[in-house]
Amino acid sequence: MGRRAFIKTGLAAASLAGLGSALGAGTAGAAQPRIDLTPGAFKPIPIAITDLLGEPEIGRNISGVITADLRRSGLFAPIDPKAFVEQITNPDTPRFQDWRVINAQALLTGRVTRQADGRFQVVFRLWDVFAGQQLAAQQFVAQPDNWRRIAHIIADAIYEKMTGEKGYFDTRIVFVDESGPKERRVKRLAIMDQDGANVSYLSRGDGLVLTPRFSPTSQEITYMSYGAGDPKVFLLNIETGQREIVGNFPGMSFSPRFAPDGQRVIMSLQQGGNSNIFVMDLRSRATTRLTDTAAIDTAPCYSPDGRQICFESDRGGTSQIYVMNADGSGARRISFGNARYSTPVWSPKGDWIAFTRQGDGRFAIGVMRTDGSGERVLTEGYHNEGPTFAPNGRVIMFFRDPGGASGPSLYSVDVTGYNEQRVPTPSYASDPAWSPLRS
């Protein structure tokens, strides 16, 4: 279900009287708290998140997910409820002096009301404690089983109000679930919420699946599967379960990924000992070749505006990152460190390209500017690979395999290299891909 199907933006005028306005609007003249995202400068902002009143269980659950989302971002420091001085009885009139005492800079209050048709109405208010003013308010009407999405959307609203950037909590991750002993590993396509909840499986595990990627415009993913015969590139509609083959290609195909318009898929196709990059129009199924070299060109990814493509190539002798125009012209190398570079992916904001770097027996996940300058390693380990950006470009998810008899796990890290965290999955997991914000 999309956001528009169950969200009513803003609150009724009567309930907002004297308390500010709808989500995204603050009180005129108020100096609201704002998180400074400058690397090395920001400190997590203390925020008090109270249990939503009305329906105790669902209100407590929603507040718990909001708390977990904000804490996991590393930008917020939710205050332990045991420290609360005031026990909220009216979410519209908190006693600000009681929240200033515990140094809360922001406060969340709200209420859950069961309607006659069985749906819930959820209202939240975000307060600037020191100014004693409302920063934002919004209401939602939804079926009870959508409570987790409501929590993520509220967390996104708080994140945006306090940082000035879009949140990323109401998103999903598609990944390869790996189970069983290492020599007989079963790999299934799986999807979950970005916090690890609501895991479901999209394939049965009777064929090898690799490199799932989300469409930027629809609830579709593209991925590669090894079944009987050559590997094939598939399209899968997550909502309907409809699956179709993008095309049958001679030789091997690798790393399919959508163009920003969602109407094309770019991939590499192996022909003999080399591979080149091709793009396919999903409507006409016409294929256009973009590179023509005796090297291995693979892992292509469009810039957000669709005008450029970054990719991996060994045309210079070792695996490095290149950028070319969308028509395949003007290829230029942008990585020059003393290492091998692979799996480049363009940030949704267009400012960074993330990559895997291998050298001296170590794997690193890093970012560089689109001209190759400003290279920065975010995290290192035995085997880190496969970076994918959150839709706001602030966080990167990747997988790490420690080797031995164990298997890979998913991790996330801020683009500043701060706040690395393991992402919970039911079993081993690899090849994550982050969805856009759900619509």
DSSP string, 147-193: HHHHHHHHHHHHHHHHHSS----S-EEEEEEEES-GGG-EEEEEEEE
Distance between CA atoms of residues 139 and 11, nearest Å: 6
* pLDDT value at 10 more than 60: no
Q: Which of 7-16, 264-273, 339-348 has the lowest mean pLDDT?
A: 7-16
pLDDT band at 4 (very low <50, low <70, confident <90, very high): very low
DSSP state of 296: B
Query: Strands, DSSP E only, in 248-339?
Result: 253-258, 264-271, 274-281, 287-289, 297-302, 308-313, 320-325, 332-333
Q: Which of 10-19, 222-231, 321-330 has the lowest mean pLDDT?
A: 10-19
Q: What is the pLDDT of residues 409-426, one digit of tens each?
A: 999 999 999 999 999 999
Q: What is the pLDDT of residues 349-395, one digit of tens each?
A: 999 999 999 998 889 999 999 999 999 999 998 899 999 999 999 99
- How would you write 57-125 as a 3-class SS string? HHHHHHHHHHHHHHHHHCCEEECCHHHCCCCCCCCCCCCHHHHHCCCCCEEEEEEEEECCCCCEEEEEE
pLDDT band at 231 (very low <50, low <70, confident <90, very high): confident
- Number of residues assigned to the chain: 439
Distance between CA atoms of residues 308 and 204, nearest Å: 36
Q: Hunting for tokens 């989500």 — which residue is that?
A: 23
Averaged pLDDT, 148-155: 97
How far separated are the first and last CA of the chain, in Å rounded?
8
pLDDT value of position 28: 37
pLDDT band at 13 (very low <50, low <70, confident <90, very high): very low
Distance between CA atoms of residues 232 and 247, nearest Å: 7
pLDDT band at 320 (very low <50, low <70, confident <90, very high): very high
Please tell me which residue, 84 or 439, carries the higher pLDDT value: 84
pLDDT value of position 156: 98
Query: Can you read off the two tokens belonging to residue 219?
Result: 């609830």
